[in-house]
Chain A
Amino acid sequence: MSELPFLVTIWLFLIGLYGIATSRNTIHLVSCLFVAQSSTYLLLLSVGYRAHGSAPILSGIPPGAQPVDPVVQSLALTDIVVGATVSALILIFALQSHKRSGTQDPRRTPPMRG
Chain B
Amino acid sequence: MRQSATRIIFWSIAGLFAFPLFLALRDLPDFGAYAGPYGDLVLATCTGERHTPQGVAAVTFDYRGFDTLGEEFILFAALAGALLLTRPQEDERQHPPRDHALDRPVPQGNEPIVAAGRLMFPFSLMLSIYIIVHGHLTPGGGFQGGVLLATAFYYVYLSGEYQDLHPFTSVPLLESLKVLGAAGFALLAASPLAVGLPFMTNLLPLGREGGLLSAGTLPLCNLLVGCEVGAAFLLLIDAFLRQVVVIGKKKEEDS
| Chains A and B bind each other | yes
Q: B55 touching A2 by the CB < 8 A rule?
A: no
Q: Which residues of A contact B (CB under 8 A)?
A: 2-7, 9-10, 13-14, 17-18, 21-22, 43, 46-51, 53, 55-59, 67-74, 77-78, 80-82, 84-86, 88-89, 91-93, 95-96, 99
Query: Is B158 part of the contact surface with A, judged by Cβ < 8 Å?
Result: no
Total contacts A-B at CB 8 Å? 157
Interface residues of B in 17-51 (CB under 8 A from A): 17-18, 21-22, 25-26, 28-34, 36, 38-40, 42-43, 46-47
Q: Would you call the interface of chain A mostly helix, strand, loop, or mixed? A: helix
User: Count of chain B residues with Cβ under 8 Å from any Cβ of A?
Assistant: 62
CA separation between A2 and B31, bound complex, in Å? 5
Nearest CB in chain A to that of B9: its residue: A21
Given contacts A2-B30, A21-B6, A22-B3, contact A89 B82 (CB under 8 A): yes
Nearest CB in chain A to that of B39: its residue: A69
Return chain A residues, CB-CB under 8 Å to B36: 48, 69
Nearest CB in chain B to that of A107: its residue: B2
Candidates A22, A55, A67, A74; contact of B139 at CB < 8 Å: A55
Q: A78 touching B56 by the CB < 8 A rule?
A: no
Return chain B residues, CB-CB under 8 Å to A47: 28-29, 34
Q: A89 touching B78 by the CB < 8 A rule?
A: yes
Which of B67-75, B105-113, B118-126 lies on the face that meets chain A? Answer: B67-75
